[in-house]
Amino acid sequence: MKMQNILIAHPSDAKELSIIKAFFEALKIKFEVAKDSPYSPEFVAKIEKSRKQVAEGKTVKISLDDIWK
């Protein structure tokens, strides 16, 4: 049985993705590009909202003493 290796790349933009595709095509390596995100849209929206709040300084600091009450 032939061993199948799986590679996962995370290109940061369309240019990087096109370079990776061109590289694999040049080496005749079979590949596929996932169309769907592994995360639900609701979860992604919550994370983006939290990141925006942090960037705006809307955070709450909790002391260690308050955590272990």
3-class DSSP state of 54? helix
Using pLDDT thresholds of 50, 70 and 90, give the confidence band for residue 20: very high
**pLDDT tens figures, 27-68:** 999 998 887 777 888 999 999 999 999 999 999 989 988 888
pLDDT of 5 strictly over 90: no
pLDDT at residue 1, as a whole number: 57
**pLDDT tens figures, 46-56:** 999 999 999 99
pTM over 0.85: no
> Cα dihedral angle (18, 20, 25, 31), rounded to 10 degrees?
-110
